[in-house]
């Protein structure tokens, strides 16, 4: 059984007052959500405050990015050991916004994932095709290449310590969610590739869906056999909406 993982990606949003207001509302709403992993990835500036405010709860903190180097002359970057020092147990790598806006390659993403594993931080490795690639019938091929290249440095004995997030670029922040069936088709393909690469451990890797996930859509997505979680941007900025996503099982629309 794969434990569902619901993760908030706050991107470049929220300040300290907004964080405190969010956490104050959110903690009681998810107090009994023990069967799932709950992760929040705030901007780096809020990580310290976040980990203090979630201490004693089951909520976990994540970085939104990381640099694969240990330390050194990399102005503006954050090292894996620094995330560990902040109490992070997860970090997002290879988000499509970083791939598109900051030209991050699969090779760079692969180094980040390996560096995080060295620090016992679980990488959430994002993959996903653009609309152009989907319309050209290349979605599976694009995702397969990203999986192969971005996970190239993950040792087999650590494979079940990673999370993969399938986020079709055309569904991010657009209000367009992939249909559960479309998403499942890609998740199933990813699952097969993971199993081919890592054997039995591939079946234990959790695969999240991301792209305009809302309380209204999360149940049907999570009902698919190979969708094990959600990576949520916009809707995760609202504590009530993200709590409903965490309680995805009770969000079934009658």
**Residue with smaller CB distance to ligand PGA, 146 or 201:** 146
Active site residue 95: yes
Q: Provide the 10 A C-beta neighbour count for residue 107.
A: 11
CB of 231 to ligand PGA, least distance (A): 5
Quote the crossing angle between the two packed helices 139-150 and 106-118, to the nearest 10°: 40
Q: How far apart are CA 46 and CA 43, in angstroms?
A: 6
- 236 in Cβ contact with 172 (< 8 Å): no
Number of H helices, E strands in the chain: 10, 8
Q: Quick check: 213 binds ligand PGA (CB under 6 A)? A: yes
Q: Of residues 94, 123, 229, 234, which one binds ligand PGA by CB under 6 A?
A: 234
Active site residue 141: no
Q: Which of 95, 187, 189, 247 is catalytic?
A: 95
Q: What binding mask, one character per residue, do residues 4-43 give for ligand PGA by CB under 6 A, x or -?
A: -----x----------------------------------
CB of 30 to ligand PGA, least distance (A): 18
Q: Which of residues 116-175 bind ligand PGA (CB under 6 A)?
A: 167, 172-173
Q: Quick check: 104 binds ligand PGA (CB under 6 A)? A: no
- 202 in Cβ contact with 188 (< 8 Å): no
159 phi and psi, to 5 degrees? Answer: -60, -40
CB of 96 to ligand PGA, least distance (A): 7
List the structure tokens of 238. Answer: 């609202």
Active site residues: 95, 167
């Amino acid at each position: 059984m794969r434990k569902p993982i619901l993760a908030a990606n706050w991107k470049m949003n929220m300040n300290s007052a907004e964080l405190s207001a969010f956490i104050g509302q959110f903690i009681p709403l998810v107090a009994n959500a023990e069967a799932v992993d709950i992760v929040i990835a705030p901007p780096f500036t809020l990580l310290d405050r976040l980990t203090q405010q979630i201490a004693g709860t089951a909520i976990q903190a994540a970085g939104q990015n990381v640099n694969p180097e240990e330390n050194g002359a990399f102005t503006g970057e954050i090292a894996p050991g620094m995330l560990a020092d902040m109490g992070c147990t997860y970090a997002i790598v290879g988000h499509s916004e970083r791939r598109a806006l900051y030209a991050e390659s699969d090779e760079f993403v692969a180094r980040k994932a390996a560096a995080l594993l060295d620090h016992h931080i679980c990488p959430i490795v994002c993959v996903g095709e653009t609309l152009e690639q989907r319309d050209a019938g290349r979605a599976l091929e694009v995702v397969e290449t990203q999986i192969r290249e971005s996970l190239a440095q993950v040792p087999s004995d650590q494979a079940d310590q990673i999370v993969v997030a399938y986020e079709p670029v055309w569904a991010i922040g657009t209000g367009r969610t992939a249909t559960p069936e479309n998403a499942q088709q890609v998740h199933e393909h990813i699952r097969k590739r993971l199993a081919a690469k890592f054997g039995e451990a591939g079946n234990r890797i959790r695969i999240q869906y991301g792209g305009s996930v809302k309380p209204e859509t999360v149940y049907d997505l999570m009902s698919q056999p190979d969708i094990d979680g959600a990576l949520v941007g916009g809707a995760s900025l609202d504590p009530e909406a993200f709590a409903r996503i965490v309680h995805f099982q009770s969000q079934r629309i009658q």
